[in-house]
Structure 1
Amino acid sequence: MLKRNKLALSISAAVLTGGLVAPLAVAQTSGEALEEVTVTGIRGSLQDALSIKRNAGGIVDAISAEDVGKFPDKNIAESLSRITGVAVSREFGEGEKVSIRGAGPDYNRTTLNGQSVGTADWFILDNPARSFNFTLLPSTLISSLEVSKSPQASQDEGSLGGTVNVRTHRPLDLDAGQASISAESVYSETSEEFDPSVSGQYSWKNDSETFGILVAATKQDRTVQRSGFEVLSWTDEATPGVMVPGTMGAPTFYQERERETFFVSTQFRATDELLFTLDALDTSVNADNMNGNWLVFAGDNAVDHAANGVMSGSSVVASEITGEGRGVVNWINRVSSSESQSFTLTAEYESDAFSLDVVAGQTSAEGGTYRETSWEYGWTGGDYAFDLRKPSLTTDPAPNDAEAYGAGWIWGGEKPTTDEETYFQIDLELPIDAGAFTAIKTGIKSRSAERTQDRTVYSWHGPETLAGNEDLASDWPVYLQYIFNTCPTLASCDLNSGGTVDIDSPVAGNATNVVKQVRDVMEQIAFGGLNGVPADYARSLELANIWAVEEDIFAVYAQAEFEGERYRGNFGLRYVTTDQASSGYEFSSDSWGFKTIDRDWLNPAYLEWVTEDNDYSEFLPSFNIAYDLNDDMVVRTGVARVMARQNWNQISAFETFGSLNAPDPQGQSGNPFLKPFIADQLDVSYEWYYGDVSAFSATTFVKKNHSYLTKETYTEARYDEQSDSYVDVDFSRDVNGPGGLVAGVELAVLHDFDNGFGLQANYTYTSTGEDTVVGISDTMANLMGYYENDTFGARLMYNYRSEWSKGFHWNGNPLSNDAYGQWDASFSYNVTDNAQLTFEAVNLTDEQIIEYSDYEDRLMSLYENGRRFVIGARYDF
């Protein structure tokens, strides 16, 4: 069995790393000399994926490099969406996070060549979680993707649904001097922009094949524009039993996204038995963005809406107000980025007596919003009408009437995060001959991690912000007041110098014809100055949102491999200890939760950095067995206990809340004493390999979750700067609650018609009973049809998932995503054996992302990311 697995792995490596044409050596059953068979294109890559699945120790699904190259995917998450049981979120039109088999994005692990990769989100509304942001990894980086669904003791713990392992190319596996380069142009329908993408890879090794180096680089630009409609809160505080939208608007999000990725792999074979590999990754995303939202405060008129509005169930879905309305434009400018690095050194020693792997490495990430400015100009006493069924929003004054929007408020700040981890691992394998037992594996792994978040707020109304301008200060005591007296409406100070613009948004009414945001003017006034008066603002720490979590993990395992005439498998035990230290500020309320760091203003009488400790240990047994019914059919069974640690932000000492000038403000806070998720799972699969590139599989899985997170609530007052008053906020935080059962079935078929045509389809049904699990859709499905000959290839793909929970909106309302289905297509033409042209189309039917609260008639948001079209060329040499 060991020899057979090694042969299978070597075959897989040959196919994975061979580019468009890969030689496959197949032994003749008669014992004659080996003959060379050539496997090419889509058919070869699918055949390789089946080989990985069939020879795996547990239930595994895979995609090869050739296969990824033929998908219209710009990152790994989008590639993963084609795998059975995997769902992807696409908030900004590009895959970001994945859910697997009854477990949301935060409860699955992603590794690069078996090790962690630090990640830090760029978006200010994202909370630091354990989910990996796949926008950092382009799909051109990988040689294969593997999703392990039934764990083994030798695998890292931390996943409830599955572990994604991203494998990269290695130089000693490739031909010396092998290289490729590709260039693409991406057209985004919403932004109407063409953006370039360039990637290349070069691999070299010496004649003796003892030393090699591989270098890969990718640069991708993308202009993102997302328009839509938002309801920022629902409340029945003013009219018990009748839910009324609190604040609603028509937002447009813009971003110039620039992604750069560099990967270097160096290998040195010191002896026939000893191999050293050093992998280094540096990937970054510059993600500056701005958002414009034309808001109406419908909650001000909640009683009138409840009495006169159009009802759907217990929700007001349409209404109008005359003469008593209030609205604003909220323009937000952000300087954002994210960067990750990892360095891993591996020593592999293999002899007839034993195999020993030693791994040491470090990964780090930093990212977030490093500067944010939010401007509000508004109106009062006007009219508005809304209809959430369409949706539509109409206001009087209109959003293109710059003179009608008067000065309101300016605020801003910073929210940077970091993620660091060092790891050390030893794995030992001892071949044995003891009946059915063929090998014993054992090892240890140590991980030390830290995740941090900082938060600083800017106040243009802070004291002495007109220092050195005594004449001005006598009339306008703070810089904010000077700005608004000098620029009383959007029609002054060149704030409307961009004119008006029709935003391409799925909203009726006049909310789509608006004054265009002029970012340069706003940032000059906020950070540079106005009419020769230097800009100034106070910088204060927002104490409740600054935290750090340290985590030390130690694991030890033992695993036995066994094999008989028609069966094979493994069983083992993994023991894991986790020590956590969650730190944050304790402070008195006399400074409203702030500490000013650049002047004498806000300073709490009591301030101390405190740490709460939490620790736990778990035994994680596992058992996997595969039985060959015949040469073509395999039945597998896997039983295991799995665990997933809670999110960083959930176990941190954080606190956040929504707008304090909205009705019934809501907030959330962390809980450092949360215990991990524990689940017992059973997997049974049937696999029928009825052709070289044809197979059918059916899998059922059951997970008994020992606990879910539930919410506990409490009410505390918080200071509202704009009204200079305290406001009661209803806070909620996670606590460990009762568990529940997750069960499901996966069906997959791959059929090649031997004439260039083929079909691949899969379906997943997951039931969580009466429990709501974040990130999980009841139904997921993928369908792909393909055709390929020597010169032309085409794929048409459909990806679908039913509605799923997203937990809670930042304002406290329950949040769900409506069902989503997307059609994609890709085409390729081989100009020569080495040159290829490609064309790709993404989101062909221009699907919308729709979010709601509790019921579908309580719309929370509707977004359009638009279609994307890609034309490219690739050359291998």
Structure 2
Amino acid sequence: MKNNKFRFNSVYCAMLVAASVGAHAEEATNVSSNQVEKEVEVIQVKGIRSALTKSAETKRLSDGVVDAITAEDIGKLPDTNLAESLQRIAGVSIDRANNEGNKVTVRGFGPEFNMVTLNGRQMPNSSALQSEGVSRSFNFREIAAESVSGVNVYKTGKADITSGGIGATIDIQTAKPFDYDGFTAFVSGKGIYDTSVEKGDSVTPEVSGMISQTFADDKVGFLLSASHAERDSHTDIVGTDGWVRNRSRANVDLTAIDKTLNPTQAIWTPWTAKTEQVDTERSRQNAQAVLQFQPIDTVLATLDYTMSRFEQTSYTNRSAFWFDNPSGSANANGTLWNPRDQDDELNFWAWEYFEKKENDSIGFNVEWQATDTLSFEVDIHDSTSESNPDGQTAETLANLKNPSGSVALIGADFVGDIPSIIVNDSNIPGGAYNKNNIVSDLYQKRGYSMENNIQQFRIAGKWENASTDSALTKINFGAMNTDYTIDTRLSEVFSFVDIPLNDLDLSFVPLGSTANQFSGSDKLFPFISQYDVNQFIDIVKAQGKFADPNIKTNGVTEETFAAYVSFDFDTEFNEMPVKMNAGVRYEDTDVTAYSVQKGVVAINYRHGQELRPVYNDTATAQELTGSYTRILPNFDVNMSLTDEVVSRFSYSRTLSRAGVSALFPATNINARPGGPFNASQGNPNLLPITSDNFDLSLEWYLDDGSFASVGYFKKFVENFIGAGTENRSINDVNGNPLRDPSVNPRPGCPDASDIPNSACLSQATDPIIVWEVATPDNLQSREVDGWELNTQYMFGDSGFGAIANYTMVNSDESFDPYNFDQTIALTGLSDSGNLVAFYDNNGLQARIAYNWRDAFLLALGNEPTFTEAYGQVDMSVSYEINEFFTVSVDGLNLTDETVRRYGRFEEQLLSAEQYGPRFTVGVSAKW
């Protein structure tokens, strides 16, 4: 079903802020800054109100713009998923995968523009699926919310904060034994009920616990926490494998195209139409051990180890067909909305996605109060993330099909949320779904094994002025060295095969008899194929037709030295307290990137849809280097206009480093007969993307945790990375340009034999291929600005409260669907908003939350990918039976919303996904 777009009215939001402030103005109590700090120290983090009050005080007392989430109590972060909690913060929105939040966008800047740290330390990341690429972005699905005590989101830069986030630096904080008074223990057990499950268990366990104790007169403390979670789920997907521009125009009616918008009458045709069902099994373990030692009052040492284990396997079956030469009519935009193809065949796909992640981090920290005014801190950590460390290939797929040209007609009408599928199989005796009318087609195995290691050493100092006669109150200084190393191994096997299917356990299930959640499922394929892709691969191997994989090895090493100093001032202006922070951070980075790959001998014409490079047996290494230096200043000032009203101004320069895969020097090629002929090569000399950030806000705080704020931000961003393209030939290992053997094919070609047919290999008489080679480069600058409206209100002692926030984000250049030369656009840019109502009184806590995000550009490749506007309702209820035991119920996606992605225009459906609601019932105990 279509997601109902939800928009906050900005005028209404402004009135809501004003009303919230005005309603409580007379009740406000005068509180000085010193009194506020004193109160924060004694807040007991128990209950929704206390957690929100502490988060509000963190925001109020911070330098720059900082928002926070605080756990209500041990193991009680507001949501079962950390990303789901973060989206409640103004300006923070999330991407979802498998109906869970996984990556965050802040103020319109996507995951790759945000830095995630754990207790102030930069964390590594690795990935297994080829479609995810090589990313620096931390995935929040890998950390249990129960192990987190709080999160700070730094939206403005500071000299002493690790660089890397233009959108924000997000610091996840975990518990330590000295946070608690003596012995503390917590245990929780939950059952996760997923309404979508078709295969597997609809109820799965989630358990967590923590124990903390101090010894030797509180001079030694030890904490151990652990969690284990399992989840089975099911996803229904309808869509296509992409839309291509001007692929086939001969049989398309162009009369409806609006030439004022589309003067060249460009058209877009779908590659495929598909119906897909995915069954997923996931397990996750987290653990942390912390030892603290304070031999004397002035020295505190902390040794900690943090680990996570994540494993997810998805099994997919799909019915689909390819549009090879479709006819039909283009709409006003140029979209071929009703493609039809004569004499074709159906395809029946099976997939297995396997992801295994192992993350380990060990750290040591010493704090020393050298004198009454001077203190030092040393922090060291070594952290590693590995994906599929045992070498198992992440993605395995196979395709079966009808004999070529056996189906009389295939087609689809892309109208509404999901397409109407048309199949006329009257030409085939017994029909297209009869096993006697199905043959093998192809198989593929692909995916990464990856290791990312970060070693970081930081030394910091702080001098505090004991004199009350000076405005200068504090000087912070320090230095940091970061070694960032990532090594990737991409394995790829692709081959067309002709094998007997007698031993394959193949069946077809009527779509209506499965747990398909789309209300329009009667318009889709009538049957979904059911078979095991690994059984298919075993048959291929038994037939001796399994090909050797092509291995691509790439890696990057970055060494960054940073030094910083900052100054804090407390003064007055017209009897109004003023706090200032001025700092500067210096960074110097050296980059070394390498690639190991086999050379291309020739191009092989194997299939009507495939030109495959043929490689030699010798892999050679290539290495390139780069370097850059950056100065990152910041200046923050806040003025208390009254005891309740704070005005704030901040300036900072921040940076985000180039995507890792953009640095690899390897050349990759991809071609089809007749084109397109695409190639890419990395560039380790890419400069970081830098942003000059300006923030101005007005905040009104009341004495019970209520507040209202309005903020404006402006970002001037330089060195955006785009694909600079060049049309040129590419040479083979002998220095000769690669040629196209499909233009004038020789007899017997194409030929998909395992041993290449020499007649189908490129020869000197074939035309030279002109490749469109994309090389990343620092191409353009952008301006981004926006407004954040935020209010949090407690209705006296009633226990009721409400939160509302809305963020508007704009850029000086948005994506133009009719500009075919646009290579840069800001992904993730969108408005977002939250409405939350809660009750917290007499041991009963209840919360219902609505989160909404407007449509946004997810990715920009040859054709763009957009995510449609999405809103989701979640709820949670808990009751404290007594001081020890609490029972809880959580519900996510209560209205069963559809996640829909599309191409250049909304009718160019890429995927519509439905997951179903999910519920969690649990009990916890604390001592």
Q: TM-score, normalised by structure 1?
A: 0.87
1:383-532 mapped onto 2 (5 Å cutoff): 383-390=409-416, 391-397=419-425, 400-432=433-465, 433=467, 435-458=470-493, 481=498, 484-485=499-500, 487=501, 493-496=504-507, 502=514, 504=516, 506=518, 508-509=521-522, 511-519=524-532, 522-527=533-538
Find the residue that maps to 1:604 and give its secondary structure. strand
Determine the C-alpha separation between the residues in 2 that align with 1:288 and 1:603.
32
Determine the C-alpha separation between the residues in 2 that align with 1:497 and 1:394.
18
Shift of 1:286: 0.7
Map of 1:111 onto structure 2: 117
Instruction: Give 2:364's match in structure 1, choosing from 310, 323, 345.
Output: 345
Find the residue that maps to 1:79 and give its secondary structure. helix
User: Are residues 1:767 and 2:767 paired?
Assistant: no
| Cα gap change, 1:227 to 1:499, in 2 (>3 Å) | closer
Instruction: Give 2:561's match in structure 1, choosing from 542, 554, 560.
Output: 554
User: Are residues 1:366 and 2:379 paired?
Assistant: no
Instruction: Give 1:579's match in structure 2, choosing from 590, 609, 622.
Output: 590
| Cα gap change, 1:353 to 1:505, in 2 (>3 Å) | same
Determine the C-alpha separation between the residues in 2 that align with 1:774 and 1:289.
31
User: CA offsets, 1:684-719, max 9 Å, x none?
Assistant: 111110231210111111111123223223466699
| Cα gap change, 1:171 to 1:817, in 2 (>3 Å) | same
What amino acid maps onto 2:791 in structure 1? V
Find the residue that maps to 2:473 and give its secondary structure. strand
1:600-749 mapped onto 2 (5 Å cutoff): 604=616, 607-653=619-665, 660=672, 664=676, 669-714=681-726, 722=752, 730-749=772-791
Map of 2:213 onto structure 1: 204
User: CA offsets, 1:720-775, max 9 Å, x none?
Assistant: 99586679864534321120211111110000002111011111111112245444
Determine the C-alpha separation between the residues in 2 that align with 1:721 and 1:439.
74
Shift of 1:668: 5.0
Determine the C-alpha separation between the residues in 1 that align with 2:668 and 2:523.
33
| Cα gap change, 1:414 to 1:100, in 2 (>3 Å) | closer
| Cα gap change, 1:9 to 1:137, in 2 (>3 Å) | farther
Determine the C-alpha separation between the residues in 1 that align with 2:487 and 2:54.
41
148-157 vs 715-724, greater mean Cα deviation: 715-724
| Cα gap change, 1:505 to 1:666, in 2 (>3 Å) | farther
Sequence identity percentage? 24
Determine the C-alpha separation between the residues in 2 that align with 1:345 and 1:721.
60
| Cα gap change, 1:580 to 1:290, in 2 (>3 Å) | same
Map of 1:851 onto structure 2: 901
Q: Which runs of 5+ in 1 are unaligned?
A: 16-21, 23-38, 462-479, 594-600
1:226-375 mapped onto 2 (5 Å cutoff): 226-235=235-244, 236-239=246-249, 241-298=266-323, 300-302=324-326, 304-305=327-328, 309=329, 311-321=331-341, 323-350=342-369, 351-368=371-388, 370-371=392-393, 372-375=395-398
Determine the C-alpha separation between the residues in 1 that align with 2:666 and 2:228.
35
Shift of 1:551: 0.5
Determine the C-alpha separation between the residues in 2 that align with 1:91 and 1:541.
29
Determine the C-alpha separation between the residues in 2 that align with 1:199 and 1:793.
21
Shift of 1:116: 1.4
508-517 vs 165-174, greater mean Cα deviation: 508-517
| Cα gap change, 1:10 to 1:177, in 2 (>3 Å) | farther
1:97-108 mapped onto 2 (5 Å cutoff): 97-108=103-114
Find the residue that maps to 1:564 and give its secondary structure. strand
| Cα gap change, 1:573 to 1:539, in 2 (>3 Å) | same
Shift of 1:395: 2.6
Determine the C-alpha separation between the residues in 1 that align with 2:120 and 2:136.
16
What amino acid maps onto 1:795 in structure 2? R
Map of 1:597 onto structure 2: none
Q: Is the 8 A contact 2:177 2:221 kept in 1?
A: yes
Q: Is the 8 A contact 1:70 1:826 kept in 2?
A: no
Q: Is the 8 A contact 1:117 1:341 kept in 2?
A: no
Find the residue that maps to 1:706 and give its secondary structure. strand
| Cα gap change, 1:855 to 1:169, in 2 (>3 Å) | same
What amino acid maps onto 1:821 in structure 2? G
Q: TM-score, normalised by structure 2?
A: 0.82
| Cα gap change, 1:515 to 1:84, in 2 (>3 Å) | closer
Determine the C-alpha separation between the residues in 1 that align with 2:843 and 2:72.
16
What amino acid maps onto 1:125 in structure 2? S
Shift of 1:779: 1.2
Find the residue that maps to 1:288 and give its secondary structure. strand
User: CA offsets, 1:535-591, max 9 Å, x none?
Assistant: 673433343xx3101100000011111111401121011100111111113653116
Determine the C-alpha separation between the residues in 2 that align with 1:5 and 1:343.
37
What amino acid maps onto 1:746 in structure 2? E
Map of 1:28 onto structure 2: none
248-257 vs 832-841, greater mean Cα deviation: 248-257
Map of 1:467 onto structure 2: none
Determine the C-alpha separation between the residues in 1 that align with 2:600 and 2:129.
29
122-131 vs 818-827, greater mean Cα deviation: 122-131
What amino acid maps onto 2:414 in structure 1? L
Shift of 1:319: 3.4
Shift of 1:656: 5.9
User: CA offsets, 1:47-76, max 9 Å, x none?
Assistant: 111111111122110010118966663321
Determine the C-alpha separation between the residues in 2 that align with 1:631 and 1:802.
37
| Cα gap change, 1:71 to 1:357, in 2 (>3 Å) | closer
| Cα gap change, 1:679 to 1:72, in 2 (>3 Å) | closer
| Cα gap change, 1:175 to 1:402, in 2 (>3 Å) | farther
Shift of 1:40: 4.1
Q: Is the 8 A contact 2:346 2:432 kept in 1?
A: no
Q: CA RMSD in A?
A: 2.8
Q: Is the 8 A contact 2:129 2:448 kept in 1?
A: no
Find the residue that maps to 1:140 and give its secondary structure. helix
Find the residue that maps to 1:131 and give its secondary structure. coil
| Cα gap change, 1:870 to 1:512, in 2 (>3 Å) | farther
| Cα gap change, 1:408 to 1:338, in 2 (>3 Å) | same
Shift of 1:221: 0.8
Find the residue that maps to 1:691 and give its secondary structure. coil
| Cα gap change, 1:658 to 1:609, in 2 (>3 Å) | closer
Map of 2:189 onto structure 1: 183
Q: Is the 8 A contact 1:147 1:164 kept in 2?
A: yes
Shift of 1:831: 1.6
How many residues matched?
A: 807
Map of 1:814 onto structure 2: 864
Shift of 1:607: 3.8
Q: Which runs of 5+ in 2 are unaligned?
A: 1-31, 250-264, 426-430, 605-612, 731-737, 742-749, 763-768, 816-824
| Cα gap change, 1:603 to 1:384, in 2 (>3 Å) | closer
Q: Is the 8 A contact 1:331 1:376 kept in 2?
A: yes
Determine the C-alpha separation between the residues in 2 that align with 1:61 and 1:356.
27
Find the residue that maps to 2:661 and give its secondary structure. coil
Q: Is the 8 A contact 2:276 2:316 kept in 1?
A: yes
User: CA offsets, 1:352-371, max 9 Å, x none?
Assistant: 03110000111001115822
What amino acid maps onto 1:613 in structure 2? T
